[in-house]
């Protein structure tokens, strides 16, 4: 059996009931086959793929906190420190009831390659908790965040592991966690990114993932003789990534007409009103029904099992920005049938393996999240640099660095896809380019 197949089987058998982790590993290993099989014995002898797929460290902990009724609640906390070959562990924290170890491992594994692609010195990690911030009071969120950090603090640090936000973790949660870290360690350091601007945050970090997604998408389109201007865009999600993707798409002359949350979706024939969306989601933390109520051109559709939501809308470009496996084979067929010619992932692994294959086979330009959503973590690394030198850069300075990082990422994966004889396969290009840097660093550091 080939080394790649052997390692995939090992991953499945040693990590039962972690389908998202298996899926992420399968996609990467399939892309690496051409690289590994050119030098299989060397890779096998040093067990490079086993080392790549086993996290350096997994931390799992109890998070007890008291709700507003005086009831003690208990949640399950995780931090997976996956790979530190090229820098301190770096990656977000997700607070969502669906969080489990397999999901955090898939996210941590993806993060290794994403962080490598940014060209910045950051290793891969991810964490989170099955806590649901929805419907909780600010005091409850604070009590939870303080308890979460009361355990996590001992495992992280500005040069060890630097968490940030992800689903359910934004400026409010980062603030509460930073306060608790500082209090316990008596140390004011850049241990978290995505901080508020008054206490060490970077300008443009809030916008970075969505903006970066559009910078990369624009470059991918440009290199294929197209652009965003005048195009109809279907976006899913209504959180941090989706909001700023919609905003930048409009600045580039595109027309985003959809967004969604976990209970329903919007089709707005006039194009999404970003100011209203921000008011509903960032200020009121409300449902999208409130957007529809305030906007005559918008239709609200309740989410229903078996229906395909935003992907049934006729569009030129699709940007999935909500969560994993939200775009399946049926959705991909609907997109192709409606003339969609490009899909770029804002979320992590939003497209199933079957859907990805279908889109690529039907000539749709497809950019995987580990490349197209890397602007968030790249700007987090810029926040770390600013914290280290105790200076703050202007919005324009950070934004222009972000723009060149995203353009470089696209060319890096485009070049890798050509070099390995898979021109236009940006999934393979991203996985190979991300892997080669990490593998070289691992080799140089010996068996560890
Ligand atoms: P937010 O919490 O700000 O927003 C998430 C959005 O997706 C919400 O609209 C939410 O709806 C929806 N959503 C979440 N889970 C589900 C679900 N299971 N089913 C349907 N809808 C869901 O998160 P972000 O915008 O930060 O993250 C979105 C994606 O982007 C994630 O995959 C994340 O890993 C990825 N990402 C985030 C980065 C960042 O910097 N924030 C960087 C790179 C990637 P509702 O409010 O109803 O729950
Ligand atoms: O998935 C991701 O890249 C993030 N959630 C952002 C991580 C970070 O450290 O900024």
Structural domain includes residue 438: no
CATH number of the domain at 75, please: 3.40.50.10860
Active site residue 418: no
377 CA distance to ligand 2 middle (Å): 5
The residues facing 327 across adjacent strands are 351
**CB-ligand 1 contact for 309 (6 Å cutoff):** no
Element (H, E) at 318: strand 317-320
At residue 306, the pLDDT reads 86
Mutate to test the pocket of ligand 1, among 133, 241, 280 (most ligand atoms within 8 A of CB): 241
What interhelical angle do 329-337 and 353-361 show, nearest 10? 20
Q: Is 246 helix (H, G, I), strand (E, B) or coil?
A: helix
147 and 228, same domain (yes or no): no
At residue 320, the pLDDT reads 98
Nearest to 152 by CA among 136, 167, 174: 174
Long-range CB pairs of 426-430, under 8 A, 24+ apart, other chains included: 426/220, 426/365, 426/366, 426/367, 426/368, 426/371, 427/27, 427/31, 427/356, 427/360, 427/366, 427/368, 428/31, 428/34, 430/31, 430/113, 430/117, 430/367, 430/368, 430/370, 430/371
Low-confidence ranges of the chain (pLDDT < 50): none
Structural domain includes residue 174: yes
233 and 337, same domain (yes or no): yes
Domain span at residue 255 reads: 208-372
408 CA distance to ligand 1 middle (Å): 25
Strand residues in 45-185 grouped as ranges (E): 57-66, 72-83, 89-95, 123-129, 161-164
Residue 380 CA, chain-centre distance (Å), reads: 12
241 and 350, same domain (yes or no): yes
Catalytic residue, chosen from 90, 105, 114, 126, is: 126
Domain count, the chain: 2
The residues facing 298 across adjacent strands are 268
Measure the CA–CA gap between 242 and 240, rounded to whole angstroms: 6
183 and 236, same domain (yes or no): no
Measure the CA–CA gap between 178 and 188, rounded to whole angstroms: 9
Find out whether 232 and 316 touch, Cβ atoms under 8 Å. Answer: yes
**Ligand 2 atom closest to the CA of 166, numbered from 1:** 5
Rounded to whole angstroms, what are the CA distances from 240 to 62, 210, 325? 28, 7, 18
361 and 285, same domain (yes or no): yes
**CB-ligand 1 contact for 168 (6 Å cutoff):** yes
């Amino acid at each position: 059996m080939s080394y790649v197949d052997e390692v995939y089987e090992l991953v499945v058998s040693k990590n039962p009931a972690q389908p998202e982790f298996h899926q992420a590993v399968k996609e990467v290993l399939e892309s690496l086959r051409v690289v590994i099989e050119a030098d299989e014995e060397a890779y096998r002898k040093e067990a490079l793929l086993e080392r790549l797929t086993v996290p350096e460290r997994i931390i799992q902990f109890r998070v007890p906190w008291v709700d507003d009724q005086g009831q003690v609640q208990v949640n399950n906390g995780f931090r997976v420190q996956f790979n530190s070959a090229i820098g301190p562990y770096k990656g977000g924290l997700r607070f969502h009831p669906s969080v489990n170890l397999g999901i955090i491992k898939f996210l941590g594994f993806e993060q290794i390659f994403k962080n490598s692609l940014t060209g910045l010195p950051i290793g891969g990690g991810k964490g989170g908790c099955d806590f649901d911030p929805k419907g909780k009071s600010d005091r409850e969120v604070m009590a939870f965040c303080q308890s979460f950090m009361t355990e996590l603090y001992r495992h992280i640090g500005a040069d060890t592991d630097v968490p940030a936000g992800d689903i359910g973790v934004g400026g409010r949660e980062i603030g509460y966690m930073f306060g608790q870290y500082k209090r316990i360690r008596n140390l004011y350091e850049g241990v978290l990114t995505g901080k508020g601007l008054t206490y060490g945050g970077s300008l443009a970090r809030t916008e970075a993932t969505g903006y970066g997604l559009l910078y990369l998408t624009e470059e991918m389109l440009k290199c294929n003789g197209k652009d965003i201007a005048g195009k109809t865009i279907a976006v899913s999600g209504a959180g941090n990534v989706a909001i700023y993707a919609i905003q930048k798409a409009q600045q580039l002359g595109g027309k985003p007409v959809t967004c969604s949350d976990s209970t329903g979706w919007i089709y707005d024939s006039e194009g999404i009103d970003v100011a209203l969306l921000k008011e509903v989601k960032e200020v009121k933390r409300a449902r999208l029904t409130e957007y529809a109520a305030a906007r005559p051109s918008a239709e609200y559709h309740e989410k229903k099992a078996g229906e395909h939501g935003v992907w049934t809308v006729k569009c030129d470009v699709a940007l999935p920005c909500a969560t994993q496996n939200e775009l399946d084979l049926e959705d991909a067929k609907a997109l192709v049938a409606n003339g969609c010619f490009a899909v770029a992932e804002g979320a992590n692994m939003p497209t199933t393996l079957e859907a990805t294959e279908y889109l690529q086979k039907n000539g749709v330009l497809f950019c995987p999240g580990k490349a197209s959503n890397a602007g968030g973590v790249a700007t987090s690394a810029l926040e770390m640099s600013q914290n280290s030198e105790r200076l703050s850069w202007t919005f324009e300075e950070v934004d222009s660095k972000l723009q060149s990082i995203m353009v470089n990422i696209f060319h890096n994966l485009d070049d890798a896809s050509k070099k390995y004889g898979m021109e236009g396969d940006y999934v393979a290009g991203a996985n190979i380019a991300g892997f080669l840097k990490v593998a070289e660093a691992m080799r140089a550091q010996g068996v560890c």
